Amino acid sequence: MSPKPERRQQTGNLHFITFSCQDRNPYLLSPESKSLFESVLESRRKQYSFHVVGYVVMPEHVHLLVTEPKNAVLSKAIQALKLSVSVKSKERPFWQSRYYDFNVFTTPKHTEKLKYIHRNPVTRGLVDKPEDWPWSSFRHYLTGEIRKVEIESWWTTTRRKSALVESHISEARCGAPSMTKED
């Protein structure tokens, strides 16, 4: 058995994560299994308070580009994600025990990894264009589409800022004097 990989966590960097189904079996082949993975990913994203910058669910593996969780170390969040999927699936064992973790330090590397994630279904010949693969973050980047997994992007930041401005306007309206005919 190869030595345990060194993890550089709690660095404040993004992490490009890859993990595979046991023996590279296509346990994530069906739309239902890919949808289950997305639901669990979103649940664990909320539970552990991390951002998903990009992802793709392939038939026998997954790629994620994520921030470090606020509520635990990244390895604990990945363990919980994998365990939750395996408990809800009939295949045993579902996942290979380890995962690949690459620290993303620079903007060019961030772009490279996101492109790699989104092009993976095309490279594998599963679709002709990245937007044709529904189990990835590509459509969100292309159109701002909101799906099962919240993606941390320009679209998301803009929506948050817009909601914050609207809430401040609403609060200001609530305290504003009413204008009546008697005034």
Note the pLDDT of residue 12: 81
Note the pLDDT of residue 5: 54
97/84 Cα distance (integer angstroms): 14
Instruction: Kindly indicate the confidence band of residue 4, based on its pLDDT and cuts at 50, 70 and 90.
Output: low
Is 55 within 8 Å of 62 (Cβ atoms)?
Answer: yes
Q: What percent of the chain has pLDDT over 70?
A: 84
Kind of pairing between the strands at 100-104 and 14-20: antiparallel
Q: What is the pTM of this model?
A: 0.86
Note the pLDDT of residue 169: 56
**pLDDT, tens only, 101-147:** 999 999 999 999 999 999 999 999 999 999 999 999 999 999 999 99
Domains of the chain: 14-175 (3.30.70.1290)
